[in-house]
Amino acid sequence: MKGGGGAALYKEKSGKALPVARKYSKLKHLFPIVLLKGDGGCPALYKEKSGKALPVARKHSKLKHLFPIVLVLVLAAFFVLDRTANRQLGEHLPAVIDYLQKTSGLRCEIQNLAYRFPSGVRALDVRISDDSGREWLNAASITAKISPFRYLMSRKVGRHLIRSIDAENLNVTLYHKNTSGWKFPGIRRSAENLLSGTAPEEAPINLNVHNLTINFRTEKKTTTHTYRTMTARLDLKKGLDSLDVAGDNERFHLSLKRDSGEFDLKADSFGLAILSPLLGDTIPLDDMHITARAKGGTEKDKEMSFTLSGAIEHSRQRGSFLSPLEAKTAILGFNMTGGKDDSRISIRNGQIVLGGESLFVDGRFSNAQLPEIKMVFSFPEFSIGNALSTLPKSFHPDLPDLKVKGKVAGKLHFFIDMERPRSLAYRFEGKYEPVKILSLGSKIKVTALKSPFRHTVRTPKGEKITFLVGEDNSQYVPLQDIPPSLISAVITAEDAGFFSHKGFSQRGIKDSFAENLQAGRIVRGASTISMQVAKNLFLTRERTFSRKFEETFITMALEQNLSKERIMEIYLNIIEWGDGIYGIGPAAHFYFSKAPEKLKPVESAFLASIIARPVNNWEPEPLSRISEGWWKYLQVILCKMYRRGGAEIADLREAGVPETRIRELVADKEQDETAPSPPD
């Protein structure tokens, strides 16, 4: 009823009206019906003018009939919208594929485009490949979520409308060629991309991947790594803002603030195996994980500073009566601070702990694409034996019981300008107790090489050849029956410092490091004759870190237990000189139809020249068939043999060495013989 010309609320007992017009007069036209309690405690609705009660049930009964109709209409609208959107997307699919191929330069295959409520477009069964047919990416689905608001603001269609991209079951493949390294798809920059000045401003894009697989495909094998999720935030102009990767028991996080220079990196038991293909698949990282934290930032008018700390652990399966348990062993710990300005990056107070032994690091890197590096490593009574004892068995699988002793105390100075690899220089200041091999394990007995032994080789075809290395073998040649010219030729071609070093050539290591760095790949090794004996007798042909690691300690054991003469004797009787030709005895008879002691210097030079390339289809009497380039190589060897006393002037002339070069050698040799001794 009316109460003061407005709606009135009635009390149940008194029936008196409580005017509400004074307080709610503005609602008068909105609420012509008032609520009060009816008989029996049931709510009733009273019409303002008539005062008659309208039961709630009657009012709701009308709404009850309307609700299904409204619901059906809404669902029908959604159905029509979905069908219309999918039809439109299907019609535009060829144009979308053509646009992607033109702007990226890559082949694109999409099975279907589908509308994703409320503002998304889903591409199904997506495949990206290059012109050669190599597939770089495939996904079960990729969904791009669009921002209608960005479209209303710009009235332009483009990538600026994309708010996020979600991918399901994403597979990415990277390819490696031994001759050219890792290959990445060359994405063409389109004309639209180049006109960034006229394009609408692009907001960051969120990338979300569920079930990510990364394949590293080399010429030998394919290595696969899987992760449950990956999320990233990308600024298309500035780059990556954040990245999060999670596996079953591993996590990685990186966030960047480019304006302030701040960064934050966290790794929690993150597997290092993903780095193996990038390192040439040589270092055994399959069961190694890193837990680390790195933070950095820039204060006003100051250089950027950063901190880094963490540890590398090795995990292995340990059996139990229920199920295998994963045990983790700390291998290496590290922490350091540093800074960066416009000219360089510096490392201060760095510490590395390996097997309980600490070494300290300070240094700097110039801020250039090919930096200048200067480092100082400080060793305070560093036990080499303790440090090596913590390395996992995967580093030395053929030497499971490797034990050594040795100490170093002092400073190692290291310098290199990456623009000039031959600038490499290093020096040590301090005390050094040489490494002593205590044990190589039960599989390798170096002392047994002092007596005759049986040696088995596996040919490149997989066949096994076993022969005796000793005088009971008619083709074995003792050192006293080997001509000096052959020893001189082999030393010249393979290891100039064999009789002076202790198994390792510092000059060879330095030169090979510089040449390989300059070439960007392995073009030269630094193996000495002792190292070749270790490899040929005990190791495989694989070029891996573990094989090189084992070769180092076997070489030390050879040098510590055998004389140089015995090492040379074994070497000349076991190395490969051609397809199925092992040892100098068979080699001299095959190529020159004579015993080794009757070889002429030029023939010795040829045999030494083919040690690095034994399987090269060489035929008997090869000197009449070799190329001009190979002859020049033999002349270089002969000239160096002359300096060592392994060849005479007549041998040089027989090989066609120019007279001007011979006169230079004679003058140099006479000058060397008469030169004074250096001061003490």
pLDDT tens for residues 92-151? Answer: 778 878 877 887 788 899 998 887 777 788 889 999 998 888 899 999 999 988 766 665
Query: Within a 10 A sphere around the Cβ of 211, how many other Cβ atoms?
Result: 16
User: Among the residues of 366-470, which ranges form H helices?
Assistant: 384-389
Q: What is the pLDDT of residues 470-489, one digit of tens each?
A: 999 999 999 999 999 999 99
pLDDT of 370 over the 80 cut: yes
DSSP 3-state helix, strand, coil percentages of the chain (rounded to 5)? 35, 35, 30
| Selection from 291-300, 315-324, 354-363 with the highest mean pLDDT | 354-363
User: What is the rounded CA–CA span in Å between residue 497 and residue 284?
Assistant: 32
Q: What is the pLDDT of residues 496-505, one digit of tens each?
A: 899 999 999 8
User: What is the rounded CA–CA span in Å between residue 207 and residue 144?
Assistant: 9
Q: Which of 28-42, 73-87, 191-205, 610-624 has the lowest mean pLDDT?
A: 28-42
pLDDT of 80 over the 90 cut: no
User: What is the rounded CA–CA span in Å between residue 633 and residue 613?
Assistant: 13
Query: What confidence score (pLDDT) does residue 325 get?
Result: 45
Q: What is the pLDDT of residues 519-558, one digit of tens each?
A: 766 667 788 999 999 999 998 877 778 888 999 999 999 9
Percent of the chain topping pLDDT 70: 76
The residue ranges of every structural domain in the chain are 2-51, 343-443, 446-674
Q: How many residues does the chain have?
A: 680
Sign of CA dihedral 561, 565, 569, 574: positive
Average pLDDT over the chain, rounded to an integer: 81
Contact (CB, 8 A) for 322 and 309: no
User: What is the rounded CA–CA span in Å between residue 604 and residue 583?
Assistant: 14
Closest alpha carbon to 341 in 293, 299, 373 = 299
Q: What is the pLDDT of residues 328-351, one digit of tens each?
A: 788 899 999 999 888 889 999 899
Query: What confidence score (pLDDT) does residue 506 get?
Result: 86
Query: What confidence score (pLDDT) does residue 528 get?
Result: 93
pLDDT of 65 over the 70 cut: no
pLDDT of 185 over the 80 cut: no
Closest alpha carbon to 384 in 432, 329, 328 = 432
DSSP state of 355: T
CATH class assigned to 446-674: mainly alpha
pLDDT band at 62 (very low <50, low <70, confident <90, very high): low
Q: What is the pLDDT of residues 234-262, one digit of tens each?
A: 887 778 899 999 998 899 999 998 777 78
Query: Within a 10 A sphere around the Cβ of 607, how many other Cβ atoms?
Result: 25
Contact (CB, 8 A) for 544 and 581: no
User: What is the rounded CA–CA span in Å between residue 272 and residue 312?
Assistant: 9
* Identity of residue 270: F
User: What is the rounded CA–CA span in Å between residue 342 and residue 301?
Assistant: 12
pLDDT of 407 over the 80 cut: yes
Bridge partners, residue 265, by sequence: 254, 294
